[in-house]
Structure formats: structure tokens, C-alpha cells
Chains A and B, each alone.
Chain A
Amino acid sequence: MLLIRCPYCEAERPEVEFTYAGEAHIARPADPSALSDDEWRDFLFIRTNPRGRHFERWRHMHGCGRFFNAVRDTVTDKFSMTYKAGAPRPSDEEIALASSATADSAASVKDARP
């Protein structure tokens, strides 16, 4: 079970308090009627589905109830960072900084070689 940091509660909480809410940074078009059928299809259905870094939405369902964004690696399941809804997509540098801060606070990955 993952630990997820809610950027509103500013606390790590177990995964069971949260629900997943799909890919992040897909804003609803201001005027959907101006979109072509293909553009609207892409908004509705087309997702990046990456192997690796994924920007995604979560909701602190059994906590504050807020939706927020997260950067998670789909291979390792590790969260690099979480941030509030509406905040811009973080840059590579910001993500790297957040990841190393997490690693520092909890000690780096152990080399278990004998």
C-alpha cells in the first residue's frame, strides 16, 4: 500500500484514503462547441499512458475531499511529488528536486549487495 502526500493536508496518508482520478493537466476546453470531432475525441479518450513518469490526478476521498495532482512513475509506482490542483505542470528540475528531497528525508535507497 502506497503512502501519498496530500498537498492540502500536508501529510502522508495511506493509499486507502485516496481514489485515483485519471491523467492530469487535461483541461476541459472553454468552448467545446468550437472543437472539431477529432479534437473533442482526443479530449475525451486519448491519454498518454506512459511507461515511466505520469502526471495524474488523485482525490483525498476519505480525508479533505480535495482533488490534487501527482507525479508518479508507472514502472516503480513511486511518487516523485504531489501538488495542488490548478498549479502548473512541474518542470524536470522541480520534480528532480522534490524526488531528492523525499529521498534525503527518508535516507537513500540501500545498496543491499553483500
Chain B
Amino acid sequence: MSNFRIAGKGRVNRSRQLRFSFDGVDYTGYEGDTLASALLANGVHLVGRSFKYHRPRGILTAGSEEPNALVGSNRGNGRFEPNTRATVLEVFEGLKTESQNRWPSLTRDIGAVNDALYMLFSAGFYYKTFMWPKSFWDKVYEPVIRNAAGLGKAPTAPDPDSYASRFAHCDVLVVGGGAAGLAAALEAGRSGASVILCDEQSEIGGSLLAEPTAEINGQLAWDWLEDTNAALAAMPNVTVLPRTTAIGYYHQNFVGLCQRLTDHLRIVPDGAPRERMWKVRAKQVVLAQGAIEKPLVFAGNDRPGVMLAGAARTYLNRYGVKVGNWVVAVTSHDSAWHAAFDLAKAGVEVAAIVDVRGTVPTQLVAAADALRIRTLIGWTVTGTKGRLRVSSVRVNPVGPGGKVGGAETIACDTLLMSGGWTPSIHLFSHTQGSLTWNEDGQMFLPGRGKEECRLAGAGKGRFGLKAAFEDGAAAGSAAAADAGFAAQPAAYHVEGELSFTGVTGHELPTDRDPGHAKAFVDFQNDVMAKDIRLAVREGFKSIEHIKRYTTNGMATDQGKLSNINGLAVASDALKRPIPAVGLTTFRPPYTPTSFGTFAGYNKGALFEVTRKTPIDGWAEENGAVYEPVSLWRRAWYFPQVGEDMHAAVARECKAVRTSVGMFDASTLGKIEIVGPDAAEFMNRMYTNAWTKLAPGRCRYGLLLGEDGFIRDDGVIGRLAQDRFHVTTTTGGAARVLGMMEDYLQTEWPDLKVWLTSTTEQWSVIALQGPNARKLIEPFVEGIDLSEGAFPHMAVATGKICGVPTRLFRVSFTGELGFEINVPARYGRAVWEKLFEAGQRFGITPYGTETMHVLRAEKGYIIVGQDTDGTLTPDDAGLSWAVGKTKPDFVGKRSLSRPDMLAANRKQLVGLLTSDPKTVLEEGAQIVLDPNQPVPMDMVGHVTSSYWSAELGRSIAFAVIQGGRSLQGKTVHVPMPDKVHSATITGMVFVDPENTRLSA
């Protein structure tokens, strides 16, 4: 195996050799390597296949912007991640990685046939090629395309890792730990401001990590870096976060940081979170994100072995890895010359430097001559060869007037390219800061900001080390000053500064047909320059449309490499200047971020709270099956051995109708309404009249929205002149209290009323059935339970089982019933006492399903099930609950709006199926004519539907247009098995005379 590691170069720890594997082959690397640098050190460039054409692809960059080198990484114990960027993944002992999007192997990939068929897959191909026949789309085209395209495979097992999150506040947040960011953090730190400095890399230092020979204030760069890191570490007011990416910049300097904690570790400590989301609120932000090198656009610019010049320089100087043995550089920018020089000095054969510019700085040519490097000034690159690795490059002189001359072929195993540098303005763009086009630099620069934010260094076009240091220092001290700390920016002296001129924004000239050139703009989404030209020819003018039609810049790298080149190609094709074509919007996250980081602690049992009543534990011990009701879990039914739900519910219903059942109603919303104006407040909120309701009596209350539609209902007890005990639906409690608060605070602040949520203060035990009174009588003190003294809809306070109670004589079943409210802490004890005493009556605990059946048999509605926010009291058959003589209440005026009085409104009715055994599906649509062709006229739908053991048949409620006037008529209910017929009836199926209520 070839070794491309160069002795004496780089920062990796040569004393810590590590073994890892890629596609089943074992390799070695060193501590400090990324997967990319370690593979390159072993001579491996080919690491993946491209998204659409399955073209062999290599490592293009040395940073998080990498579009090609995406691998599956297996960190053991179920920790598999697809699409990990090899340029970011740190190597550790035992790391297993694999290439993606290839079959059967990376070197022999069947899918590469797409590359030969590339004319089929041009921009918008899926809109054109696979149009016909229509039925083929679902069954043939889409599955085939989905199978062939794409990147890594999603893991199938749950993520075994945990994730953390925290809030943080600081005076100055510095994003980016390169020259500018370090200078800014130093100034802000020295001023005494609290500072957070984050950088996405494993080491702080940015481009300084690849600049060992520069001298800063008389110190070699790495010595300066070491001292600076030590100085920052010694400041208690400074927090330095490596491996931490600022992923999003939100309003008012709220910045999300994703800190990677364990991905680089061979052994993950038990319970250690994998990543941590920092939610930072900073008084001031300094963005020092640096710049990203641009590829050049020419045919064959995507072969393995073609890489960015700056990346090659980083691999050499930071990791001690030469990227090849025979190198050609093609560039429009000085920086590739310096990469070529560094490689030549390290013993690499540099066959040529091809510069597309007509003139280059003379000192560069002199330096090349001194290193005996051939220079081709004013030449272009028109093609490359090599199936799995570049083997030669085709170069041509460009004459006056742009005429491309005869080609020459130069052998090479690596081709470096540089098309200049793009400032990283992503986070600034998140703030909706404006951008200005810089024609000289062919780049967008930050314009006017909208947040308390500064940019510094290459990230705002200030290239070069001295400029970065001084700009960073200025930004850091100014940010500290704005945060209230005095700071004076230090001066920096830099030796060994590299020249940094040159730009290009255009596809390189060629002597061949550019319509056939495989000149890639977006490497990750396989978008070529000709695709963008095709989009323009087909009429797309806006860059936002061109982007979506060609998918340029829409891959997971968000166009970090491709946006500006794509824009330049579009601008040339449209013959409009770049700023007139515009730039697409960058959005968070800056780099791909795991879902786990966003979820943080909010998963599993912590995803959402489960509310449990004080009696919940008893239900669990007694075999309850639960159902969720808003955030509560409620006992659904209590199956006995051998019973299914149907049998259990039938038994529970029978017990209530014949003896006594008990039900945990603690989840009912409860609001205590107190004050001298309590009755007036009730009059205004609810439809009913409350003034004459005597203390000790209850009334069914109906609450509307101002639009006249039913919002909530519940039984309300008047405990005293100035005190009401309001109950609401289980799911509506918070909403009702919020609505009441709104009216009380903002419409009627003059009313002397206080509202208190008491839902969780009371345990509520419903005892229902003809034996209910007999059961509780011996346990009640201070309340005369006789029919005359304590009739249906009475309420009183007293004691039960020795503890205080608010006892309600109410029924949601149609049977004689009580709802026993006791302070929550006594709930379970009272429940158990009554259950024990009830054994002589065969007392039966029942759940929400039985409650639903019993109330439906009796014609009681459930708001939210039988109503859907479009039913008026009249629609629901509840006109009797509306106090028509009251001058006003919430929603009253709406009840006389013309639409509310229309004859054909949907009204709630009962339904009895022709076949008594058929239980209709809730939600099933209702039609009048079953033979009408589809689409049929749907006149309503089923809202509630049950098997009634009491009646030995099914029952249902439905809303039907003009339903009440259709009593006795037959309607039809199409269901998957067949169309069922049913008769419209009244809603009360059991005991319409209410004799049982007063038993």
C-alpha cells in the first residue's frame, strides 16, 4: 500500500497510529486525521459515486463544505450514520466506514450506466422523460429512479445515542476560530466581556492550521496559536467550543450551536450525550467564518484526483499528506500557485501550473521558475481522462479574442483547481442582512445588517492574515464596547503573507462543444453547466426557478461550492449581470445536523408529558387498558380474564344500568369562579341564565365562541352567591380558562371576578347506577341525600369517608348518579374504600368507552366529537340551553346572522341502522341517493357510533343537512364493505322520560 505521508509535516500525532477500515479494507492513520486525510495518506482518492450519474468521485475539499466524499460511518453499537462527510469525520481506532450509492462495488458500479445515458437525465428530466404512460409513474419510473438515485441508506434501528441541550447567554459570541475569530475573541476576552468562541473543526485555528511558516508578531503561526489558545483558556470569562458549528442565526442574536461531543471517541462513556445544542443569546455577535474556495468549471472537473488547491495545501501542511505524485494545477487565483509551491518543496512533481488569467504576478512566475515548474499563462483546461482517478489533463492556449488553440495533454495523478474564494456569508444571510455584489472579487459581500452583528476577515472579503487579524481585533473590541466593555484593538505584524489575487466566475473556454461537456457546477446534485444553460433556454429567468429546475445548490451542502459558479453560468446565458440575476437564500442549518440534536431531551417519555390522575395507579393495578385523551391517559376499559373490549364494555354498561359502576372523572377541567360579579360574569360567558340559579344547584352550561359556534360545555355548580364550580371538557380546560381570562382582562376589567384552575386539585369519582345512593349513604356526613333534599342537579359540601367533599348529584349516564369531588390527595383512598364497600352491589369500575356508550344511549353529546366548531346550539339540538331573554352573551349576536338561520344547516340527529348488527364507522359520510355516481352529494357524517348492549343493537349520532326535518327518513352510508342504510331518529335511545335519573 502506497504511503503518501511526508515526514516532518503536519500536526497529526505520529505517536498514535490508528486502524480503521473503508469498504472492508483496513488502513492506518494518526490521531488528528480526518477520514479524508487518512485515506489520502493511503493513496485513496475514489470514495463515492455521484447522486445521479453514479460517476466515480473523490475528495474535493478539506472542510465541511465537501460535496463528494460522503460515506457511511459505523461507530459501533448500532451507531451508524449515512452521508458523513469524510473531510469532517475524525478517525479513531476501529472506525468502520463504507462508500455509498454503488452496487455491487465502488469500482464496478452498475448504476454508472446512467452516465452514458446522461442526455436522458438533463435538467428537469423527470418532468419530461417519464411522462407517459401516466400509470407508469407510480409503479415503474418513480421506484426505479428512487432506487438508482440518492445517497446513503437511512439506519433502520433507533438512534442509541442521547442528545443534550442548554441555553447560554454571553456578551460576545464569536463564530469561527481562524485568524479573525481568534483576534476578536482575544479582544473581547481581555475587555472582560463574557465570550463564547465556537469553531466547527476539531482544533481551533482555521486556516492557521495550514500556515506553519507564517510569522505573527515574531512567532511562528503554530507557536502563536498555542499561546493564544492557552491565553483564551486562562480567561474565566471565555468559553472555547471546538467541534461546534453555528447552524442557525435567528432573531435578536439567538444563535444555535451544535457541539459534537463523542463522534471522535473510540469508547463513548456511558450516558454521554452525542451532541449538544447550545441556544445562545448574545448581546453582540462576530461572524468570522472565513471563505470557501470555488471550483473551476470545465469538462471532467469531477474525476477523483481533481481537488481544490487549498484543500491540497491543507492536507500537506496540516496533515502531512501529499495528495499525489504528479500534480497539475489549474487556476485563476494566486492561491493555487502557493499550493503547488508547497507540494513541490515537499518533493511532489508539479508538472505544470495552468493559469487562465492573461497575466499573473511576476513573483509567482519567478518562484515557479525557481522550482522548475512549467507555467502556462493564459491557457485553459478542456478535459481530463482517467476512469477511477484522473490520469491526464487536456490543456489549450487561449489566443487573442478568446480563440482556443490546439490541445496538449499532460499526464498527472492529481489536478488542483482554484477559482478564487467565496466569503461565507451564510449566517449573515440567515439574519436577512442585505448583500452587495463585488464585481472585482466576483463575490457577494455583506451589506446592511439587521442584528447586533459584525463580520470580520475573509468572511467579509478581507483576505490575507494581517487583514484578518486586524479586522477581527477591530470587530472584537467594537463588539465588546457595544456590550459595555472598554477595549482597544491590538496591532498585528505578519511575515510570510501570501499573495491573494485573482477571480473567475465563468466556465472555462473550450475548443469542444460545450453542449456535451461534462463540466460540473454542483457536484453533489450532479448539475452541469449545460443543465443551467438548458434551463435558461427553456425560459427560466429567475435564479430561484433555475435552482429548482436544475436542483443546483439544493443538495445537503446548500451550494457552498456551486451557487456562485451556477449564478455565473446563468448570468452568461441570460446575458444579464450577476447581481441582476440574484442569489438564492441560505437557510439554517449551515451544515447537515442530526435530528437528535434538534430533539435534544425531548424524546421517549420526555417528548410529551403524560398526565395521570391520583386514581391512575389503581386502574393500572386492576388491568385497565388506557387511551390518550389530550395529554391525559385515561382508563379505556377494564377487561377481565378472557374478555375482549366488546365483552368488557358490555359488562361494564350492564353494571351501571342494573346496579352501580364507578368511573374516574378526575380529568374533567375545573375552574373556580369567585367574586361579587361571578354570576354576571357567568351570564356574559355562557349561553344559560345564571342569576336565578340557587346556591346548591347545578346547571348544564354551554359556551360559544363569539362566532356563535359551540366551544365547550359542562355541568356548573353554584356553591354560594359568589362562587361557581365550573367543569369543562377534559381537552378544553386550558382553552376555556384562557378565553375567560381574555374577556375578563381585556373586555370587562371592571368585573370583580377571580378565575382559578382547580382541575388537579380535585379527584372526581363518578358513581352511577340505581344502587349509587345506597352505596355512598353510609359514608357521607353533613349532606341529606334523600331525593327531596338532594335531587338531580344538586351540589353540596360535606364529608365522605371522613374527608371533605363537594358532592354533585349529576349523571352522564342517565342513571341515578353522583360525582364525588375530594381533594386530590384523598382520591385513591376514597376510591378504594367505595370499591370495597361496593362489592355487595357488584360494583364495577368502568372506563371511557363505557362512559361514551352510556351517554350516547341517553342522547348526551360530547363537544369535540359530536361537534366540530361549526355547530350552533340549535344545530346540536341545545336551543333549550340558550337564555333567549338575556341581552347579551358571548356569541349571541352571531346566532342571528343570516347563515346561522339557514334552513339546510347540518343538524345533529340519531341514526339507527337497518341492520341492527351494523356499527357504522365514525366519520363515515352520509348520502341520500346510494345510486348516484361518484362523486356523490354528501349531506353529513356519522359523529358517534356504538354497540348498545342495553338495546341489543347499534346506535349512532350524525350531523345531516336539515336532519331534524328528516325524522324517520332513510339515508345511506357508504362504507368499505357495502352501502348501509339507516333511519334518522331522535337522539335519546334509553329512558326518554328520565325516570331513572330520579330513581
A110 lies within 8 A of chain B by Cβ: yes
Which residues of chain A from 8 to 58 have a CB within 8 Å of any chain B CB?
14, 21, 27-28, 31-33, 35, 37, 40-41, 44, 57
Known contacts being A32-B888, A33-B888, A112-B446, is A85 close to B745, with CB within 8 Å? yes
Contact with A along B268-310 (1 / 0, CB 8 A): 0000000000010101100000000000000000000000000
Contact with A along B859-898 (1 / 0, CB 8 A): 0000000000000000000000000000110001110011
Contact of A86 among B450, B453, B746 (CB under 8 A): B746
Using CB atoms, name the residue of chain A closest to B745.
A67
**How far is the CB of B304 from the nearest CB of chain A, in Å?**
37
B461 lies within 8 A of chain A by Cβ: yes
Task: Tell me which residues across on chain B come within 8 A of A40, comparing CB atoms.
Answer: 893-894, 897
Known contacts being A44-B706, A65-B741, A85-B745, is A113 close to B893, with CB within 8 Å? no
Which residues of chain B from 426 to 465 have a CB within 8 Å of any chain A CB?
428, 432-433, 436, 445-455, 460-462
Q: How many chain B residues touch the partner (CB < 8 A)?
A: 44
B138 lies within 8 A of chain A by Cβ: no
**How far is the CB of B74 from the nearest CB of chain A, in Å?**
36
A114 lies within 8 A of chain B by Cβ: yes
B250 lies within 8 A of chain A by Cβ: yes
Which residues of chain B from 192 to 249 have a CB within 8 Å of any chain A CB?
none
Question: Are B250's CB and A112's CB within 8 A?
Answer: no
B76 lies within 8 A of chain A by Cβ: no
Question: Are A114's CB and B445's CB within 8 A?
Answer: yes
Task: Tell me which residues across on chain B come within 8 A of A61, comparing CB atoms.
Answer: 738
B79 lies within 8 A of chain A by Cβ: no
Task: Tell me which residues across on chain B come within 8 A of A59, comparing CB atoms.
Answer: 738, 741-742
Question: Are B747's CB and A2's CB within 8 A?
Answer: no
B823 lies within 8 A of chain A by Cβ: no
CA distance A106 to B898 in the complex (A): 53
**How far is the CB of A14 from the nearest CB of chain B, in Å?**
8
Question: Are A1's CB and B254's CB within 8 A?
Answer: yes
Dominant SS at the B interface? mixed
Contact with B along A57-70 (1 / 0, CB 8 A): 10101000111000
Task: Tell me which residues across on chain A come within 8 A of B798, comparing CB atoms.
Answer: none
Question: Are B453's CB and A112's CB within 8 A?
Answer: yes
Contact of A110 among B432, B449, B887 (CB under 8 A): B449
Contact of B252 among A2, A44, A66, A113 (CB under 8 A): A2
A111 lies within 8 A of chain B by Cβ: yes
B482 lies within 8 A of chain A by Cβ: yes
Question: Are A112's CB and B482's CB within 8 A?
Answer: no
**How far is the CB of B903 from the nearest CB of chain A, in Å?**
18
A3 lies within 8 A of chain B by Cβ: yes
Contact of A21 among B252, B448, B455, B742 (CB under 8 A): B742
Question: Are B251's CB and A2's CB within 8 A?
Answer: yes
B707 lies within 8 A of chain A by Cβ: yes
Task: Tell me which residues across on chain B come within 8 A of A113, comparing CB atoms.
Answer: 436, 445-448
B749 lies within 8 A of chain A by Cβ: yes
Using CB atoms, name the residue of chain B closest to A41.
B897
Task: Tell me which residues across on chain B come within 8 A of A85, comparing CB atoms.
Answer: 745-746, 749
A77 lies within 8 A of chain B by Cβ: yes
Question: Are B449's CB and A109's CB within 8 A?
Answer: yes
Which residues of chain B from 351 to 404 have a CB within 8 Å of any chain A CB?
none
CA distance A110 to B8 in the complex (A): 45
Question: Are A114's CB and B461's CB within 8 A?
Answer: yes
A91 lies within 8 A of chain B by Cβ: no
Task: Tell me which residues across on chain A come within 8 A of B893, comparing CB atoms.
Answer: 32-33, 35, 40
Task: Tell me which residues across on chain A come within 8 A of B448, comparing CB atoms.
Answer: 109, 111-113
Question: Are A32's CB and B449's CB within 8 A?
Answer: no
CA distance A2 to B479 in the complex (A): 21
Question: Are B746's CB and A31's CB within 8 A?
Answer: no
CA distance A40 to B898 in the complex (A): 12
Question: Are B433's CB and A112's CB within 8 A?
Answer: yes
CA distance A91 to B428 in the complex (A): 33
Contact with B along A85-102 (1 / 0, CB 8 A): 110000000000000000
Task: Tell me which residues across on chain B come within 8 A of A110, comparing CB atoms.
Answer: 449, 451-454
Question: Are A114's CB and B450's CB within 8 A?
Answer: no
Using CB atoms, name the residue of chain A closest to B707.
A44
Question: Are B454's CB and A31's CB within 8 A?
Answer: no
Task: Tell me which residues across on chain A come within 8 A of B887, comparing CB atoms.
Answer: 31, 33
Q: Supply 17 A–B pairs (Cβ within 8 Å), ascending by A.
A: A1-B279, A3-B252, A28-B706, A31-B888, A32-B892, A44-B707, A44-B894, A59-B741, A59-B742, A85-B745, A106-B283, A110-B453, A111-B449, A112-B455, A113-B448, A114-B455, A114-B462
B-to-A contact residues, CB < 8 Å? 250-252, 254, 279, 281, 283-284, 428, 432-433, 436, 445-455, 460-462, 482, 706-707, 738, 741-743, 745-747, 749, 887-888, 892-894, 897-898
Q: Which 4 A-B pairs have the closest CB atoms?
A: A32-B893, A107-B482, A112-B449, A112-B446
A-to-B contact residues, CB < 8 Å? 1-3, 14, 21, 27-28, 31-33, 35, 37, 40-41, 44, 57, 59, 61, 65-67, 76-77, 85-86, 106-107, 109-114
